[in-house]
Amino acid sequence: MSHRIVRRTVDPEAAGRFPDLHPVLGRIYAARQVTTPMELETGLQGLHPPELLGGLPAALDLLEAALREQWNILVIGDFDADGATSTALCMRGLRLLGANHLDYLVPNRFEYGYGLTPEIVAVAAERKPDLILTVDNGVSSIEGVAAAKALGIRVLVTDHHLPGAQLPAADALVNPNLPGDLFPSKSLAGVGVAFYLLLALRARLREQDWFTRQQLTEPNLAQLLDLVALGTVADVVPLDRNNRILVQQGLARIRAGHCVPGIRALIEVGGRNPARLVAADLGFVVGPRLNAAGRLVDMAHGIECLLTDDPAEALRMARELDDLNRERREIEADMQAQAQATLERLSLDEDRLPMGLCLYDPEWHQGVIGILASRIKDQVHRPVIVFAAAGEGDIKGSARSVPGVHIRDVLDAVAARHPGMIRKFGGHAMAAGLSLPQKHFQDFQAAFAAETARHLSEDDLHGVLHSDGELGVADLDLELAEILRNAGPWGQGFPEPLFDGRFEVLEQRIVGERHLKLRVRPEGGQPLEAIAFFQSEHADLGRGERVRLAYRLDVNEFRGVRSTQLRVEFVERGG
């Protein structure tokens, strides 16, 4: 599938607002709509205050009563990294604040599905909770909340997903995306919402002189920011300033060695140096290993890794998660090969693919369909939903979208136009989940393609790489690479710098079966090492061939030696 490289336009005056920074970095920040140096400050004092978050008074009343009367509190999370970190955060945080009767429950993806369902409430009821606290789920759990209330169980919902037309009848509901909520950042992950709830609860307890009367040391909740950073990055929420502060503060704690043993162990098995960790390492190294538990077995394995305070036990669990992640990659590779064969068998090419693509195979693994949808979306540059069998005649789908198409709104529109077609759905602008009867798959396929066609044109169906321009040969050095690496945190909505330029190929070889290792030279410059992940199709590049590369200026560390490396995103032949 074709890509276009589009250079970002930057007002020179805007770039000049950062006179104390490297000129390239000033230009990059200006291109990301940063207007003042103050917006780059990542101290905790820059966070939006908790009291702006709606629903807090009722939530704090519940939690204050739960602590005073020592209720049994049951945290119910989600089976992804955001849900796991949210669960671990609440278990650790509520314990620090004085809760003595705490437990957690995470629905198994394959038995119960997502959220606070009536079925998971029945399981929860066996533990006799006085209060169910949901994290990273619950805003769409109308029936589940009703089931809990019918059993006399209080329910506090914390979530960040977009609400539907009806809200659950919970005792309290905290979600920055509720209608009329005044919290300025709508991009908090589930773990961010949970962290804010704990901050507000600590303030309430401080007012009540709780810590003195209980002979408790008032906790520094910043010690939980490693979990907040991991969940925020892994959930791929936009890194607005508030989230950048949360992530940067969490990274600083991890780099200084002040993180839970489980995160330290996951970094170790991932082969990263914790002292030099960046946000991308959380997203591509730590997050996938944690997620592997929820994808293949049960997220409780991942949560236990985050809850243990024993470094040896944490390392043992992290190695198990690493093994699961290897298994997940093998399953994904098989599914990807089958998906490619399906596309070829249907003789579909990029000009004839539907605007919205749905794929289903009864043999595909439920836990891996989200990753597969993301991979295929990147390949075909349009919204993709991948389905797997869910039992009892139903199929579950995981959707991934492209800029310009709000995937949850698309599913909402399909559901409105075709009542009864979709059993349930929920999610964000860029990712969503749904289930429907398998017999409706072909009808849904057509309805989804028609609805996405209302939002996309043919011009949208090409991958666009937004470049920060060309670097002069003097800037292709380790100094700038280090500056850029540490200038983030980079992520969704605040993208890592990408450059483009023309190079001569000096050498190339395949490494790790699917990756292209290059040695290239810019005009008038010195040879540079480059790596193009998953781009082995360019193995026929000839010595002396001219190419245009879209790349990130990166730091490669090998046996303690650090050097400049280009991380190539796209190769344009004949450049």
Which pLDDT belongs to residue 108? Answer: 81
Q: What is the value of pTM for the model shown? A: 0.91
pLDDT on residue 340: 82
pLDDT in tens, 546-575: 999 999 999 988 877 889 999 999 999 875
The per-residue pLDDT for 206 is 97
pLDDT at 347: 52
Given this model, what pLDDT does residue 81 score? 94
Instruction: Using alpha carbons, select from 34, 27, 36 the residue that is nearest to residue 468.
Output: 27
Residue 1 has pLDDT above 70, yes or no: no
- Write down the pLDDT at residue 373: 93
Q: How does pLDDT run across 386-432, given as a tens digit for each residue?
A: 999 998 899 999 999 988 889 999 999 999 999 999 998 887 788 88
Least confident of 113-122, 221-230, 317-326: 113-122
Domains, the chain: 3-30+465-573 (2.40.50.460), 53-320 (3.90.1640.30), 346-461 (3.10.310.30)
Could you tell me which residue, 187 or 348, shows the higher pLDDT? 187
% the chain with pLDDT above 90: 77
The pLDDT of residue 348 is 52
Q: Which of 118-132, 269-283, 466-480, 558-572 has the lowest mean pLDDT?
A: 558-572
Average pLDDT, the chain: 92
**Per-residue pLDDT for 493 more than 70?**
yes
pLDDT reading at 359 higher than 90: yes
Confidence category of residue 2, pLDDT binned at 50, 70, 90: low
pLDDT, one tens digit per residue, over 33-44 is 999 999 999 999
Residue 188 has pLDDT above 60, yes or no: yes
- pLDDT value for 234: 94
Distance CA 517, CA 531 (A): 5
Alpha carbon distance 13, 184 (integer Å): 28
Q: Which residues of 535-571 are buried (b: 16+ CB within 10 A; e: fewer)?
A: beebeebeeebebebbbbbbbbeeeeeeebbbbbbbb
Given pLDDT bands bounded at 50, 70 and 90, which one contains residue 346?
low
Write down the pLDDT at residue 413: 93
Give the orientation angle of helix 81-96 with respect to helix 287-296, to 10 degrees: 100
Cβ atoms of 37 and 45 closer than 8 Å: no
Q: What order do you get walking across the sheet with 431-437 strand by strand?
A: 357-360, 384-391, 394-400, 431-437, 424-427
Q: What is the pLDDT of residue 537?
A: 82
The pLDDT > 70 percentage for the chain reads 98
Whole-number pLDDT of residue 4: 83
Does 501 have pLDDT greater than 70?
yes
What is the rounded average pLDDT of the residues 434-448? 96
Sign of CA dihedral 162, 165, 116, 200: positive
Give the Cα separation of 361 and 335 in Å (integer).
9
Average pLDDT over every residue of 106-111:
82
